[in-house]
Amino acid sequence: MKSPCVTALALVILLQAAEAQSGHCMLRLHAEANPRDTAVFATSVRAQFSGKDIAIEKVARISERDVVAFQPYPAGAGNYGALFQLDDHGRITLDALSIEHRGGLLFVFVNGRAITELQIDKRVADGKIYIASGLTAADIESMKKDWHLLGEHKR
């Protein structure tokens, strides 16, 4: 009885590791959390613009799995920005997030690095996220491996 359970557990772990390695680019958007949330649900980060410590949700609301296309553009001196188009799940999540957290912040992480924080000032129903700058050429190359460019069909 022990052997099949151990084998099944090892198989699950290997499948999760293979799935984690299959993606090339990691994109995570975390919403600002209630500062009274416990450490189980939120963590504290220093906001780039205000310099204050702000609580953010530990679980990302939007991830790379919600992106279907993007359009990069140079933002000067080896710096890039991008427009991301979300799938239906991501579009609905972004719409709900923009209503629930209006006036709050949305923190963008790419490949484990904090890129920017976005002020949620209005409802976003079109499923598009615009990052003005902070991406590197390596980030753009890894994105090209995962998503097609806006206006092109996926290969």
| Domains of the chain and any CATH numbers | 24-149 (3.30.1360.200)
Contact 75, 81 (CB under 8 A): yes
Among all chains, which residue has been given the structure tokens 């022990």?
Answer: 2
SS (H, E, C) 81-120: EEEEEECHHHHHHHHHHHHHCCCCEEEEEECCEEEEEEEC
Query: pLDDT tens digit string along 51-93?
Result: 778 888 889 999 999 999 999 999 888 899 999 999 999 999 9
pTM: 0.77
Mean pLDDT by 10 residues, the chain (155 residues): 44 43 81 78 75 84 95 91 96 95 91 91 94 93 93 65
* DSSP label of 66: G
